[in-house]
Amino acid sequence: MSLRVGIDIGSTTVKVVVLNEQNKLLFRSYERHFSKTRERALETLHSIQDMLAGQKIKVTITGSAGLGVANAAGIDFVQEVYATAAAVNTYIPDTDAVIELGGEDAKIIFFGGALEERMNGSCAGGTGAFIDQMATLMNVTVTELDALSLKHEKIYPIASRCGVFAKSDIQPILNQGGRKEDVAASIFQAVVDQTVAGLTQGRELKGKIVFLGGPLHFLMGLRQRFVETLKLDGEHAIFPEDGDCFAAMGAALCATDYEPVLFETVLKKLEDSAETTTLVDTMPPLFENQEEYDAFVARHNANRPPEVDIHTYTGPAWLGLDSGSTTIKLALITENGGLLYTYYHSNLGNPVSIVLEQLKKIYELCGDRIEIKGAAVTGYGEDLIKNAFNCDLGLVETMAHYKAAAHFEPDVDFIIDIGGQDMKCFKIRNGAVDSIMLNEACSSGCGSFIETFAKALGYDIATFSKLGLFTQKPVNLGSRCTVFMNSSVKQAQKDGASVEDISAGLSTSIVKNAIYKVIRAASADDLGQHIVVQGGTFLNDAVLRAFEQELGRNVTRPVISGIMGAFGAALAARDLHLEKSSLLGPKALEKFVHTAKPATCGLCTNHCSLTVNSFDGGRRFISGNRCSRPLGEEPTRQPDLMRYKYAKLRALHGKGQGDGSRGRIGIPFGLNMYENLPFWFELFTRLNFEVVLSPESSRKLYLKGQRTIPSDTVCYPAKLLHGHVEALVEAGVDAIFYPCMPYNFNEGVSDNNYNCPVVAYYPELLAANVPELKTTRFLDPYFGLHRPKDFERRAGEWFFNEFQVPKRETSAAVKAAYAAYEAYKNDLRETGRAYIDQARREGKPILVVAGRPYHMDPEINHGINDLITSYGFILVTEDAVAYLEDKAPRHVLNQWTYHARMYNAARYVCTQKDMELIQLVSFGCGIDAITGDEMRSILEQGGKLYTQLKIDDISNLGAVKIRIRSLMAAIEARKEH
Amino acid sequence: MAKLVYDESGRLLFTKEMKEEYTLLMPQMLPVHFGMLKKLLECEGYKVDMLTTNHRGIVDEGLKYVHNDTCYPALLVIGQLIDAVKHGGYDPHKVGLLITQTGGGCRASNYIHLLRKALEKADMAYIPVVSVNLSGLEKNPGFSLTLPFVRKAVYAMMYGDIIVNVANQVRPYEVKEGAADEMIDHWSQKLVDGFQAGKGMSRAQMRQNFDAICADFAAIPVAGEPKIRVGVVGEIYVKFAPLGNNNLEKFLLSEGVEPVVPGLTDFIIFKIFNRVSDVDLYGGKWIKKAACKAFMAYIEGCQKDMIEALERSGRFRAPGTFRQLHSLVQGYLGDGNKMGEGWLLTAEMLELIHSGTNNIVCTQPFGCLPNHIVGKGMIRKLKDDYPYSNIVAIDYDPGATKINQENRIKLMLANAKGLTHQEAAPQRAPQPQREPKLAHANV
């Protein structure tokens, strides 16, 4: 029998193994291919020429990037999960499950019974590439990240769905001084959660588990997180010695069935296949030639502020700081905006120490000649930096950028800023910031994405982006969220695109993301006449060029585009006209110390993850809080209808007016129950059932049910239900009642009265996926409450069949239930009215928070209501004002009850001077893609600002704060006009 | 040039004048069925073009003009229409757009509104959009679905289903490549010609035609061992449209398997059935229910003819009846689960498994709301009940790459090949937890 060779070409590495007849490993290699897949494989094969020359061998290729190579070369291909399963069957036969993490793949294989295999979908979150990205973000190597994680003290919750989310969770923690050790461990925990949640889909991971793949082979911290999370002992957690090469070994094993070929033939096939690859989808080049590029550079370099020599200048100066997500920017300016000093650097995960160092340097340069008369700070790290160094002013980023842009282009009507990790765009209307578009949802990658990619391909960012400038055929990589772009790039590599083509393609993709995904513009005119671009990413000429090409018009990029936030902050500091700045002086900086400690606030159910920053002299700054309680102050609450409603609903448990003699009915507190609970509570208690509500939602409750969630892209409110029903089973109720409700109440203001499919049918999904429900009676009948007479009849039958309740008794209870629901609605409206009256008496602004009823769950909205009222707003919900408008034709199909309420609330807000509206949208909510656009158009036509807050399972309020503060700034600006 | 006329709500109407001058563009979902529909519309005096374009530009136009979080089919259909208007060589002032409209609780019911918004955004609000629906929504003076037309359309659907069904069973084995497709062209032309002459539209004639179709396809020379069968179910557009599913059927064929794609008939019956079950579940007018039941009974009758013709042929596998599908899904989903493909999708998977097609690709647009429940949400239970079922859920969206999708399908196929070696375990008989509460239309 001949030797067998397995070649595993993954997304980032090539693995080659040689097996002998006894399945013994004769050779193995594991190497990064930097997108040169075929070449790398060939090189490795050449290196073992001595072993194989002149022999007939059996060879197959496997791996996510292997298919293209195999097809082109005419070598047999075997799917990688299948190959892995074959290897495990051979080498570790009594395995129950395999967890394999690769560069961009995560897989679980279940043995026992029929083989069951799972791969991650189109999302690359929770894989090696994700860990690489996170390490880059923290400015450490992957090995260092691993070492750090082993010294953790606490674990932060980090979104386990996709890398982009995780990034926006990690950044605030870092910016606010969280320990790197804890963040490192939290990143690994996120990978574990992603794997367990995303791939097990209801099947439990137990027994003997084998861990495979590069990351699990090399990263001890990651291993530790898996073992702890799955509660495994040494016997049940197997980390095989060649765990990084198992797929290749499997491929070699699978080769047994194929015909042997001469080694030289295989080499030749691989060598010859280079020519056969073709590029399918290309775009026009960024620049045709050097002249075109030179003209472009000259045009943009014309926009520069005067530079003033800090070594000779004497007089006042103002300092602006922009503590961004990945970078820190400083600008020191003179009265007329002349630049004395600028700084732009990665924040290395610790902005405080960099600012300290820079301030010291600036003071030294200033000497006695220059007096800093004001300092302002903006950006994600605003609060921390402001408190650490006693800055005079903190301002929201949008305002800082507007100030800077207006300095260069007074007529500016559109600003787009693409930074390391976030993208901000906003229109300027009447001198105020209007329509802010942030990328908090799914395309956050931006600059840091190109950077990570550059590194993955073995380049630094500057070199990498220049590569693409003159390529004649940039590859078209699409315009989806950057995480998905990984697979587009993989495909391009397969098709034979060069690094140059990919570089240019990535620049265009990011631009397309910004224009079509975040801004959703159809043409350049949609943006504006005078567009100013800024942010570090636009320093990249390829990106800027792609942007102009895509829009078909020239834009303004000030030379200092990377530090516009800081420059704007400095201008704002100047406009304070202070006599003296409170900024820490050189002496104070000498003895400046900073320590940060994580803590969890236990004062309410939000359980905010706090970071306690201590500075010298006992100064403290606590971040991560939503209210002022952890600061030792009792919060002064503004009226808040969300809080009111929530408390009212939570009180609906127990026996009510009945005696509870018919048993205990469990009701999961989620989705449509936030609307219908007053109805069901009355109905059941009248019929002498005791109502048991599931506990309040929490992250813990979510994790409890996480493993049974079959679709990881469904919205968070739905996912929570798994934990709720499990908790009810544990509570030992006699039955759980959770009806399927395709129809909602008909409020007469829409064409139909549907619920969304998820709200309508989730009970059936729970019945099919939560094993615990087999042990408890689970009642999920189809009910519609929109036809009271018919419901009464149906309920009569149903209660008789299920519980032998006499029909007459049910009839009476149903009538009482309708009355109770009516009373609940009326109470909300009256309370809302009272709150509005109070606001008007006290001259306070009113904020209508429009969303779905379940958005009042504090675990779903993460305490956004507390944040809103802390800014001085009085908060009412959409249903408190929606009834004040009648039905009107809409530009979209208006057939969902909740949507109709939101539309009417928006219309009502347009008629009220002192009201603003914010829409809450759950990530993954497909139908809010429709309501969002319609709400925007209603509000904009009514002269109001549209603000949408996307909420997810992760409580990062950074983006929320920017929006609310920008909204406040816009209200202010409107008052002045 | 035709005058632009608006109704009282401000909607641009498709006028009689436009019927003379304009070309109506329609998207393609099922190549065979829609091809016949197009011919039928032409016979009614409309100028119609069915769009068969398939290139990246369509997605780009869609991304530009449709909210990116909207489902992928909307993005494609609208992108394709706008791409055609802009680059298809038409005079934009001489085209109208045809689009179907349903009224379900799925966001897909919004297509027509999204299309109008997109046109507005593209400065082409002067292009009339014509709704094709059976609910009497959005009437147009220049476009009406007459009862005879609807009847022809229903017949076209039935013929389409049987042709696609038998062609799918021949194509993987045909000796002369393209023979099955030639036969499809031959029959769709022949049938439409017949419609014009008033032929082929009685039950008796249809039965004859069914037999003739079966005979003609059975006569195509075939060779080779039976191949592994792979079922395709899913959201209706990505399930059927090659543009939506990256030519899934072609890919499956190239992998050496036989695709099995349940037809459209059940979906049509399902949509009528929902109106019946709505009345049963929540109350409503009995007359509406009775009318729907009659319509349903008619189509179920046609379906029965088709199944019998396939069985008579002795050559082709026949699908189950709608009633059988409905009984299979008991214990999984209730009758009220009707948004999108609703319980029918799960029922189709069950039917495939019961008819020996254990390998299934379940297609859906990324983030498809109903499929969270009826697709991905039911796979776990199917796997528990039928351990040898081999189902892969594939998401389609503008960013999902073909290679990723194909890799996952390949995994499923590798499993399928592995499974054929293993002895299939005895299948668990479906155990209805709930008796079907609905009396079926009498067939």
Contact A82 B67 (CB under 8 A): no
Contact A761 B339 (CB under 8 A): yes
- To which residue do tokens 């449209």 refer? B241
- Determine which of A77, A107, A122, A759 to mutate to test the interface with B (most B C-beta atoms within 10 Å): A122
B292 touches chain A (CB under 8 A): no
Q: Report the alpha-carbon distance of residue A485 to residue B400 in Å, rounded.
A: 9
Q: Report the alpha-carbon distance of residue A509 to residue A516 in Å, rounded.
A: 10
A654 touches chain B (CB under 8 A): no
B residues 255-284 near A, CB within 8 Å?
281-284
The shortest C-alpha distance from B210 to chain A (Å) reads 38
CB contacts < 8 A, A to B, total: 228
pLDDT of residue B430: 45
- Collapse the DSSP code of A466 into the 3-class scheme (helix H, G, I; strand E, B; otherwise coil) and give the result: helix
For residue A346, the number of C-alpha atoms closer than 13 Å in the C-beta half-sphere is: 12
B404 touches chain A (CB under 8 A): yes
β-partners of residue B108 are none
B9 touches chain A (CB under 8 A): yes
Contact B110 A930 (CB under 8 A): yes
Q: Is B90 exposed, middle or buried (0-12, 13-18, 19+ CB in 10 A)?
A: middle
Return the structure tokens found at A406. Answer: 């207006």
Buried b (16+ CB within 10 A) or exposed e, A162-171: bbbbbbbbbb
Q: Report the alpha-carbon distance of residue A84 to residue A82 in Å, rounded.
A: 5
Work out whether the CA dihedral B140, B143, B144, B145 comes out positive or negative: negative
- Which DSSP category does A440 fall into? -
Question: CB atoms < 10 A from the CB of A940, how many?
Answer: 15
Question: CB atoms < 10 A from the CB of B139, how many?
Answer: 12
pLDDT of residue A280: 60
Residue B267 has pLDDT above 50, yes or no: yes
The shortest C-alpha distance from B387 to chain A (Å) reads 6
- Which DSSP category does A307 fall into? B
Q: Report the alpha-carbon distance of residue B366 to residue B364 in Å, rounded.
A: 6
Residues of A in contact with B247 (CB under 8 A): none
**Strand arrangement of the beta sheet that strand B359-365 belongs to:** B258-260, B229-234, B359-365, B390-396
Contact B103 A114 (CB under 8 A): no
Work out whether the CA dihedral B159, B162, B168, B171 comes out positive or negative: negative
For B393, which residue in chain A has the nearest alpha carbon? A121
The shortest C-alpha distance from B235 to chain A (Å) reads 14
Beta carbons of A953 and A162 less than 8 angstroms apart: no
For residue A917, the number of C-alpha atoms closer than 13 Å in the C-beta half-sphere is: 34
Q: What are phi and psi of A363, to 5 degrees?
A: -60, -40
Segment holding A597, helix H or strand E: strand A594-600
Beta carbons of B357 and B231 less than 8 angstroms apart: yes
A residues 80-139 near B, CB within 8 Å?
81-82, 113-117, 119, 121-122
pLDDT of residue B425: 40
pLDDT of residue A1: 63
Q: Is B1 exposed, middle or buried (0-12, 13-18, 19+ CB in 10 A)?
A: exposed
The shortest C-alpha distance from B169 to chain A (Å) reads 27
Q: Where are the alpha helices (DSSP H) in A671-715?
A: 673-686, 699-705
For B339, which residue in chain A has the nearest alpha carbon? A757
Q: Where are the alpha helices (DSSP H) in A159-205?
A: 163-175, 180-200
pLDDT of residue B434: 44
B415 touches chain A (CB under 8 A): yes
**Which pTM does this prediction carry?**
0.82
Residues of B in contact with A713 (CB under 8 A): 366-367, 372, 395
The shortest C-alpha distance from B241 to chain A (Å) reads 21
Q: Report the alpha-carbon distance of residue B398 to residue A224 in Å, rounded.
A: 37
Largest CA distance in chain A: 95
Segment holding A18, helix H or strand E: strand A13-19
Return the structure tokens found at A510. Answer: 């990011």
Q: Report the alpha-carbon distance of residue A678 to residue A645 in Å, rounded.
A: 11
A779 touches chain B (CB under 8 A): no
β-partners of residue A57 are A261
- Collapse the DSSP code of B30 into the 3-class scheme (helix H, G, I; strand E, B; otherwise coil) and give the result: coil
pLDDT of residue B304: 95
Residues of B in contact with A789 (CB under 8 A): 283
Return the structure tokens found at A777. Answer: 């009676």
Crossing angle of helices B179-196/B147-170, nearest 10°?
160
For A66, which residue in chain B has the nearest alpha carbon? B407
- Collapse the DSSP code of A746 into the 3-class scheme (helix H, G, I; strand E, B; otherwise coil) and give the result: coil
Contact A740 B336 (CB under 8 A): yes
Segment holding A15, helix H or strand E: strand A13-19
Q: Are strands A97-101 and A13-19 parallel, antiparallel or unpaired?
A: unpaired
**Strand arrangement of the beta sheet that strand A531-534 belongs to:** A432-438, A423-429, A414-418, A531-534
B135 touches chain A (CB under 8 A): no
- Chunked in runs of 10, what are the mean pLDDT values of chain A (977 residues)? 87 88 89 79 88 89 84 86 87 89 81 71 65 79 92 80 63 75 90 79 80 88 90 88 89 87 88 62 84 88 81 93 86 91 82 90 91 91 88 89 88 84 76 70 56 75 83 75 63 76 85 72 72 84 88 85 90 91 89 81 70 80 71 72 94 92 95 95 96 92 85 87 95 96 88 89 94 93 94 95 95 96 96 95 93 93 87 92 87 85 94 92 82 88 85 69 81 71
Beta carbons of A318 and A374 less than 8 angstroms apart: yes
Contact B400 A68 (CB under 8 A): no
Q: Report the alpha-carbon distance of residue B205 to residue B97 in Å, rounded.
A: 34
Q: Report the alpha-carbon distance of residue A72 to residue B285 in Å, rounded.
A: 63
pLDDT of residue A105: 76
A residues 804-863 near B, CB within 8 Å?
none
If phi > 0 it is left, if psi is from -120 to 50 it is alpha, else beta; for residue B246 that is left
If phi > 0 it is left, if psi is from -120 to 50 it is alpha, else beta; for residue A721 that is alpha
User: Pick from A202, A484, A926: which is nearest to B367 by CB?
Assistant: A926
Question: CB atoms < 10 A from the CB of A153, how many?
Answer: 10
Residues of A in contact with B426 (CB under 8 A): none
Q: Is A24 exposed, middle or buried (0-12, 13-18, 19+ CB in 10 A)?
A: exposed
- Which DSSP category does B218 fall into? H
Q: Report the alpha-carbon distance of residue A554 to residue B206 in Å, rounded.
A: 64
Q: Report the alpha-carbon distance of residue A958 to residue A383 in Å, rounded.
A: 11
Question: CB atoms < 10 A from the CB of B212, how many?
Answer: 13
Residues of B in contact with A491 (CB under 8 A): 401-404
**Strand runs (DSSP E) across B70-227, as ranges?**
95-100, 129-132
Residue-averaged pLDDT of chain B: 87
Residues of A in contact with B337 (CB under 8 A): 740, 742, 760-761, 764
| Terminal alpha carbon distance of chain B | 51
The shortest C-alpha distance from A429 to chain B (Å) reads 20
The shortest C-alpha distance from A634 to chain B (Å) reads 41
Residue B10 has pLDDT above 90, yes or no: no
Return the structure tokens found at A111. Answer: 């043995």
Q: What are phi and psi of A124, to 5 degrees?
A: -95, 10
User: Pick from A765, A780, A926: which is nearest to B69 by CB?
Assistant: A926
Q: Where are the alpha helices (DSSP H) in B236-341?
A: 236-240, 248-254, 265-282, 286-313, 322-328
User: Pick from B283, B340, B399: which is nearest to A484 by CB?
Assistant: B399
Beta carbons of A914 and A975 less than 8 angstroms apart: no
For B334, which residue in chain A has the nearest alpha carbon? A782
Query: How far, in Å, are A236, A594, A845, A910, B437 from residue A875 at the CA level?
Result: 53, 37, 9, 16, 46
Q: Report the alpha-carbon distance of residue B76 to residue B66 in Å, rounded.
A: 9
B residues 350-389 near A, CB within 8 Å?
366-374, 376-381, 383, 387-388
User: Pick from A520, A740, A891: which is nearest to B67 by CB?
Assistant: A520
Query: How far, in Å, are A271, B376, B437, B439 from residue A457 at the CA level?
Result: 22, 36, 61, 64
Query: How far, in Å, are B62, B237, B243, B368 from residue B75 at the CA level?
Result: 5, 11, 11, 13
Contact A485 B399 (CB under 8 A): yes
A932 touches chain B (CB under 8 A): yes
A896 touches chain B (CB under 8 A): yes
Beta carbons of A723 and A703 less than 8 angstroms apart: yes
- Determine which of B403, B421, B431 to mutate to test the interface with A (most A C-beta atoms within 10 Å): B403
> Which of B166, B286, B165, B282 has the alpha carbon at shortest distance from B220?
B166
Where is average pLDDT lowest: A739-753, B131-145, B173-187, B338-352?
A: B131-145
Which residues, at least 6 apart from A969, have a Cβ–Cβ distance to it below 8 Å? A396, A398, A399, A432, A433
Question: CB atoms < 10 A from the CB of A609, how many?
Answer: 22
User: Pick from A711, A764, A929: which is nearest to B333 by CB?
Assistant: A764
Contact A929 B67 (CB under 8 A): yes
Beta carbons of A243 and A217 less than 8 angstroms apart: yes
